[in-house]
Structure 1
Amino acid sequence: MRTSADGIAMLHHVEQLRLKAYPDPATGGAPWTIGYGHTGPEVYPGLVWTPEQAEAAFERRLREEFEPAVMRALTVETAQCEFDAMVCWAYNVGVGNMKSSTLMRLHNAGRRDEAAEQFRVWKRAGGKDCTIRSNNCYGIIRRREMERARYLGVTGAEAIAIYEATK
């Protein structure tokens, strides 16, 4: 299974193309990030990419890291909308967190409604509670509502509209 155009549109929307390396917004430091949320030892202050480099890195991580990890974690038939949401979520919370999550356990148990509610549990960034707007990470709450909506079957455009309306 591959991430659909809807899932890619969601990721591009929330990760926002940035061509100059920047510190993690939640921590104000490491990990340094560039492109569409790309992190790694090759990302350092002052690094600049072209749009083509950013897209290539995004595609590579999506195809080689996140999609295979989600596929390995799944034990039940999964709808495209559910897969898109889980890839988007894993891209943000990391593969390890995704694999050991209650969300994945509930999904694999066929408890889809409960799994959908688990997106809302993932509301922290850099140790901060993102429901508190003064922590400057409220985008995580908006992202989780977008991912939850896609998991439940809305289109990517509708999910992005939910992200934008959650401001």
Structure 2
Amino acid sequence: MLSLQEHVEKRMCEDDHLFFTRRFFKPRMGFKFMVNWHHIYIAYLIDEVIKGHIDNLVINVPPGAGKTEMTTNLIPRGIARNPRSRFLYLSFSQSLVEEVASTARNIVKSEDFQKLWPVNISKSSDAKSNWKTTVDGYDAGHVYGASMGGQVTGRRAGTLADEGFTSKPVRPTQGDVPTIGHGTTVYPNGKAVTMHDKPISRQTADYYLKDHISKVEKQFKHSIPNVKLAQSEYDAYIDFVYQFGIGTFNQSSIRINLLQGNYVQACKALLKYKYTAGRDCSIRSNNCYGVYVRQNNRYEKCMEANQ
């Protein structure tokens, strides 16, 4: 069990890139990370990327100024925040690719990291420039590095949706339709999930999830043409549509506010969806409190881009 100090340290590492960099530099190098003003600024920009405020970031500083150190730490910090994170590290030099990817792997494997975030690395894929994390015994996150001319096609970066997993059909709360896998209610072939369906594997569930999200993204983009969103807003709304459906979104005040450019009001409108089967899920005794918590998480993520 973590002490109060360790809980604070864990939260600071997840929220502050410079803090994370300094925290894991000394155990690895044997001396403190010497902070200059440009490190503070680079860390700030990286945090803005994570929040979704910056879509593309180019860092131009002289060699030896700490750029590689700062960006290398983005990998283990991302995995600390979400072990299903996937990274692509591309460079002209193969030796640099291997050095960065292996450094990130060593940080994740370190005793200090494991105490705060007990993340497992897959035994089947643990090379210097190509390694995976596992969740519940299944491949989840992925770090893949490649140099000039290396194979990149077919590789992905980002994170999977934060969904639980059930191998058998269930009703998450009273009144819900049957779901399976990561919350799938309709199979890729269009057939609705029923309580009599056979169990599925996690790999099959991941396939259903990716297929569903792909369809959701197309529907979502079509419903709000020319609306520009920060990554954190986009993620929150995609998660909403994944759960409630595009029909609910199209008829919502969320969509109306987005089309009118009222981004803060659109975020606040997420909080209206705290009901299921007529029950107010903000009341714990109604046995659906998770719905309310999830809506608040979406709202907080959405507001990150509007503060």
Normalising by structure 2, what TM-score? 0.44
Name the Cα RMSD after superposition. 1.8
Query: Post-superposition shift, 1:43?
Result: 3.7
Aligned residue pairs, count? 143
Match among 166, 176, 192 for residue 18 of structure 1: 166
Cα separation, 2, equivalents of 1:100 and 1:146: 22
The residue type equivalent to 2:287 in the other structure is N
Partner of 1:74: 224
Cα separation, 1, equivalents of 2:251 and 2:200: 33
Cα separation, 1, equivalents of 2:197 and 2:180: 10
The residue type equivalent to 1:72 in the other structure is H
Match among 278, 282, 293 for residue 127 of structure 1: 278
Give secondary structure in 2 for the equivalent of 1:153: helix
Alignment of 1:1-167 (within 5 A): 5-6=158-159, 8=160, 11-12=161-162, 15-27=163-175, 31-40=177-186, 41-45=192-196, 47-64=198-215, 66-75=216-225, 76-153=227-304
Structure 1: segments with no counterpart, 5+ residues: 155-167
Cα separation, 2, equivalents of 1:32 and 1:93: 14
Deviation digits for residues 29-83 of structure 1 (CA, Å, limit 9, x no counterpart): x62111000013244335200011000000001102x111110111311222111
Structure 2: segments with no counterpart, 5+ residues: 1-156, 187-191
Cα separation, 2, equivalents of 1:42 and 1:137: 21
User: Which one has a larger percent strand, Structure 1 or Structure 2?
Assistant: 2
The residue type equivalent to 1:5 in the other structure is G
Deviating 4+ runs (over 4 angstroms): none
Q: What percent identity do the matched residue pairs reach?
A: 24
Cα separation, 1, equivalents of 2:173 and 2:198: 17
Cα separation, 1, equivalents of 2:288 and 2:193: 25
Partner of 2:146: none
| Higher-RCO chain (CA-CA 8 Å, sequence separation at least 6) | 1
User: Which one has a larger percent helix, Structure 1 or Structure 2?
Assistant: 1
- Asked whether the 8 Å contact 2:178–2:193 carries over to 1, the reply is no
Query: Post-superposition shift, 1:24?
Result: 3.8
The residue type equivalent to 1:146 in the other structure is N
